[in-house]
């Protein structure tokens, strides 16, 4: 008998909302339409996976079917919490602000900045290769104001019983040594906790949020980086608290540390030729690849690597103390 909980990658005590959120996330990742242009084998695997996910969701999303399935597999039947249990606090829009605040736990929030719809210049002016400047249109979206902190990650680690401990005195520093797979798992959990869909940004969303619409080289403009604007080039030799260089080093939308401090994962696979063939609106990145894209540079990066258009990459299981 198939293990439907394993197929959806959820615990046997997952709530109905947990199941729905995870189903949506997996269907987005494995929808056959995302594999258009891939090899017939890859597309067939995606279709088979999507069918399996739908089958599991059909059983576990229905309370009666789930109870019968649990009984047949020897699991303890899931019992929903009583209606008097306290719901997660709803997202709060801060007055006179473009911030949306999501609660991860009491006194621990995830602040998201709204980036309006429209076009921006992506890439590097004058480059004819993988970083060629081109115009990209994006729908409106929300993106984290800062890098995910140790305090935020600690809530997730505790909820998932991970063997991770808070670095002493670094609650507000960005969490490091997080792989792409780890980052995606954090997003899935944050979606379940907040009731809002949380994902890594696509590469184009990251770059627009980091540089605005005028094609500037750095988040603050075209002036070279220095020790008052960003944590880079070993000038601190470690991470710094998120927002330490605000507002001077912030992007046009108020994002902190998009240059330096730590590298940041995005959803896209790295393809040196993608810019030449990418859609002009909401490009989702290549459907396959070996490396995931990294953006922004880290505390040990040279000034050339903290440019808003700079592209790095590594395998989805890679971890580093500057990532």
| pLDDT tens figures, 194-217 | 989 999 999 999 999 999 999 999
pLDDT band at 85 (very low <50, low <70, confident <90, very high): very low
CA 104/CA 148 separation, integer angstroms: 12
pLDDT at 276: 87
Question: Are 25 and 156 within one domain?
Answer: no
Question: Are 151 and 212 within one domain?
Answer: yes
pLDDT at 314: 95
Could you tell me which residue, 182 or 2, shows the higher pLDDT?
182
| 169 contacts: CB under 8 Å, gap ≥ 6 | none
- Which range of residues forms the domain containing residue 18? 4-72
Angle in degrees, CA 262, 173, 154, rounded to 5: 110
Of 93-97, 146-150, 237-241, 302-306, the poorest mean pLDDT is in 93-97
Question: Are 39 and 164 within one domain?
Answer: no
Q: Is 81 part of a structural domain of the chain?
A: no
Question: Are 277 and 182 within one domain?
Answer: yes
The pTM of this model reads 0.72
Of 71-85, 100-114, 211-225, the poorest mean pLDDT is in 71-85
Q: Is 236 part of a structural domain of the chain?
A: yes
Where does 116-160 have alpha helices with state H?
Answer: 150-159
At 17-45, the pLDDT tens digits run: 778 777 777 776 666 555 556 677 777 78
pLDDT at 127: 62
Are 26 and 53 spatial neighbours (Cβ–Cβ below 8 Å)? yes
CA distances from 281 to 83, 119, 136, 143, 311 (A): 44, 9, 6, 18, 20
Q: Is 54 part of a structural domain of the chain?
A: yes
**41, two tokens:** 């084998």
pLDDT at 96: 46
Q: Please check the confidence at residue 115 and state whether its pLDDT lies above 60.
A: yes
Are 115 and 141 spatial neighbours (Cβ–Cβ below 8 Å)? yes
CA 275/CA 120 separation, integer angstroms: 14
Question: Are 96 and 65 within one domain?
Answer: no
- Pick the last residue of a domain from 72, 105, 123: 72
Any idea what the CATH number is for the domain that residue 11 is in? Answer: 1.10.287.110
SS3 state at 144: strand
Q: How many domains does the chain have?
A: 2
Which residues are registered as beta bridge partners of 293?
313
Question: Are 27 and 134 within one domain?
Answer: no
Read off the pLDDT of each residue in 93-119 and give the average, rounded to a whole number.
83
At 56-78, the pLDDT tens digits run: 888 888 888 888 888 888 887 76
Burial of 280 (0-12, 13-18, 19+ CB in 10 A): exposed
SS3 state at 262: coil
Q: Is 169 part of a structural domain of the chain?
A: yes
């Amino acid at each position: 008998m198939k293990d439907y909980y394993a197929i959806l990658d959820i615990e046997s005590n997952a709530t109905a909302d947990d199941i729905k959120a995870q189903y949506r996330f997996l269907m987005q990742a494995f929808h056959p339409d995302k594999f258009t242009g891939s090899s017939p084998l890859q597309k067939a695997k995606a279709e088979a996976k999507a069918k399996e996910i739908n089958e599991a969701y059909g059983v576990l999303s229905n309370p009666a079917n789930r109870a019968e399935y649990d009984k047949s597999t020897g699991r303890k039947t899931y019992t929903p919490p009583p209606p008097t249990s306290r719901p997660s606090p709803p997202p709060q829009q801060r007055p006179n602000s473009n911030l949306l605040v999501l609660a991860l736990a009491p006194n621990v929030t995830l602040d998201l900045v709204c980036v309006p719809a429209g076009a921006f210049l992506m890439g590097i002016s004058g480059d004819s290769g993988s970083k060629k400047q081109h115009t990209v249109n994006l729908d409106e979206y929300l993106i984290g104001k800062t890098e995910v902190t140790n305090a935020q990650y600690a809530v997730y680690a505790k909820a998932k019983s991970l063997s991770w401990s808070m670095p002493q005195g670094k609650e507000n520093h960005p969490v490091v040594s997080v792989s792409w797979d780890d980052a995606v798992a954090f997003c899935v959990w944050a979606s379940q906790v907040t009731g809002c869909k949380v994902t890594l940004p696509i590469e184009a969303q990251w770059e627009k949020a980091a540089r605005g619409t005028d094609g500037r080289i750095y988040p603050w403009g075209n002036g070279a980086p220095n020790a008052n604007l960003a944590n880079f080039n070993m000038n601190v030799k470690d991470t710094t608290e998120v927002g330490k260089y605000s507002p001077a080093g912030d992007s046009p939308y108020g994002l902190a540390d998009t240059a330096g401090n730590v590298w940041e994962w995005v959803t896209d696979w790295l393809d040196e030729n993608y810019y030449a063939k990418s859609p002009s609106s909401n490009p989702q990145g290549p459907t396959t690849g070996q490396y995931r894209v990294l953006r922004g540079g880290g505390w040990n990066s040279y000034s050339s690597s903290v440019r808003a258009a700079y592209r790095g990459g590594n395998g989805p299981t890679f971890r580093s103390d500057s990532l």
